[in-house]
Chain A
């Protein structure tokens, strides 16, 4: 079989006018995913230099929903973008070294952009479905490759900037940047391709990423999560290995401030003033569901051991391994009225998988940091 050349591709849909428009949408998706991804990584840093605000309580859930929606929408857009520019793969390199070198560098940056983009979208997609057919760390790799992908994207935009500006200013049917033989009409028009690309992107995002969005959850047919079981669960009590200790009569919640320690049973907590707040559990995987939480205000427990306001507070779980074993609440979260040591969810005693005997629920925090099966609350110095 003959290897095709750039001129083997004659469809007029493979045009800068189409590539620039699909590319613009793709760029917006990448920008949204980058910004929301950075917010999530920062939100998971203990001892943040500038603590994130505790209000509005829906901020984190919206950013992470957008992150997964933008990433999923980018999958059809990337496939269509690559289809439009596919002939470039067969462009010959210039013969002279002076011209060949910048061309080779630019081609190299495109290779980096394409491969990191595909891997970012694929690993993100699989993470949402909790399927990890690899040995590397998803978190570290997804974070590192985000900088490589967006870096390569910026170089790509810089190289193409004059054509992008021209193409976006002109009509979608403009042919001034097209290859001379790319004139064969496709079976759909250029506007048709754009309409299909946009529809496909929105459909993908709704199908896969809207599983817990009220009103959309039923039609989100490919979402790994739903609202069927109330608030979804990531780590069960069984898989965290906490069942015996969490259900033991010997369970105590220790509240520690310097030399002062109070040891409380669950009944002691139930006897304290109970408060109720509606707060979401929001996951980096993009899903979030709000629940009505009842329990003791964290500030009331801190008052028991004489902790002054404005302190960081470490919350430790019975479970000892994994990232969710302990978390540090910045002062603005520890002192917030809505931050509870929850005993009740939606009118029922907290289930074992939701963190019985007691769990942390604070406004606007990543779900992984809403510590379950809490055993110790420690005021930091």
Chain B
């Protein structure tokens, strides 16, 4: 185990050093600075905006919503949240080119709405399932 861990740390360090060298040796300074800005922005956007938003939702939802509804809401959030993020580049067709009809050739708003509807259906099903399973065994819940 000790040797494995040592080997992994060594290999990982070499990988990071090689990647860093590739990064700084193949582009000009302005480009490297921009990559570093993106790396910093990634952490700031996740840890500073996205994560607190989800924490806030969890805090509010956990206190306001009955357990069954909260369960459905978590289902919708976990399925739809990442899909909505993934849809950002295609929803506004940022990369579209006027002379290329084979790129970004779907109705993405409609597609996302259909998927969102399916997620809500899944959430409702989960909430109903929770309600139904609790009714016969109500006394047991208190022990958990």
Contacts and interface: CB of A to CB of B under 8 A. Distances in A.
Contacts of A79: 50, 81-82, 85
B1 interface: yes
A154 B8 contact: yes
Given A148-B23, A196-B74, A75 B42 contact: no
Q: Size class of B's contact patch?
A: 35 or more
Contacts, number: 227
B83 interface: yes
Contacts of B9: 154-155, 158-159
Given A83-B51, A148-B20, A151-B16, A129 B42 contact: no
Given A130-B95, A147-B19, A153-B12, A232 B103 contact: yes
Contact of A187 (B26, B42, B71): B71
B70 A187 contact: yes
A154 B31 CA distance: 27
Contacts of A83: 51, 54
A233 B106 CA distance: 15
A199 B61 CA distance: 22
Given A129-B89, A136-B27, A155 B12 contact: yes
A143 B22 contact: yes
A157 B11 CA distance: 11
Interface in A193-228: 193, 196-197, 199-200, 203-204, 207-208, 221-226, 228
18 contacts: A75-B85, A86-B51, A125-B86, A129-B104, A130-B103, A136-B31, A140-B23, A148-B19, A159-B9, A187-B67, A187-B73, A200-B79, A222-B106, A229-B102, A229-B105, A236-B99, A238-B99, A239-B99
Q: Nearest 6 CB-CB pairs, A to B?
A: A151-B15, A221-B111, A147-B19, A154-B12, A130-B95, A148-B19
